[in-house]
Amino acid sequence: MNVKIYIEGGGDSKSQHVQCREGFRKLFENAGFAGRMPWTVAGGGRGSTFDAFKTAAAIGSPDTVPMLLVDSEDPVTAPTAWGHLQARDGWECPANITDDQAQLMVTCMETWIMADRVAMNRAFGPPLQTSALLPVTALEAWPRDAVQDALEHATRDCGRDKAYSKGRRSFQVLASLNPETLRQRLPHFRRLIETLDRLLGSVRNGNLRHDWR
């Protein structure tokens, strides 16, 4: 079985789409999926990512499972991912799509970055103002704006090439994160990894595609 993940991110730039895919490729590889990697599509904006996912869901494929991965934007209180997306964005779950095919970065990709302080210290160096970061406990409960503002404030003295910014820099840091740290601190990240592990199975199954799209 193959999994094709439509990921919110990468903006409208072809080069940023490449950087987005590379950042997630490295993260999934570090999470133990080497040899059974999911395909990824950098969807750009939130709406366009959902549209691309809906198109894939409508076309269907007997051997490829489409998956949506977007920021939750707000803390998640609904019992399911589709329940959250319906309540917040008005997005309905397409026909024949399961709840596992909607995955959330809660509340945004920056939450993942802030969860791994070792990777942050390595990426930003001594100028990183750790006191400006949010506590690692219950990180998914913080609003998106609070997470992003804290990350930008904590890295503001790290220099033009190291300070946090969307795009190339964000995906560089993403690629350096420790998935096990994220699993321990972020329940929705753990759900994503466990879902991929179940869908992709073992490389010994012999029916997996090993390329990266």
Reduce the DSSP state of residue 41 to 3 states and report it: strand
Domain presence at residue 100: yes
pLDDT in tens, 73-122: 999 999 999 999 999 999 999 999 999 999 999 999 999 999 999 999 99
Does residue 211 lie within any of the structural domains?
A: no
- Is residue 200 in some structural domain? yes
Residue 213 lies in a domain: no
Is 159 contained in some domain?
Answer: yes
Report helix, strand or coil for 67: strand
Closest CA to 115 of 31, 185, 166: 185
- Structural domain including 171 reads 2-205
Is residue 41 one of the residues assigned to a domain?
yes
Mean pLDDT of the chain: 92
Asked if residue 115 lies in contact with residue 186, where contact means CB atoms within 8 angstroms, the answer is: yes
Is-contact 35 210, C-beta < 8 A?
yes
For the chain, the domain total comes to 1
pLDDT tens per residue across span 18-60: 999 999 999 999 999 999 999 999 999 999 999 999 999 999 9
Is 131 part of any domain?
Answer: yes
pTM of the model: 0.92
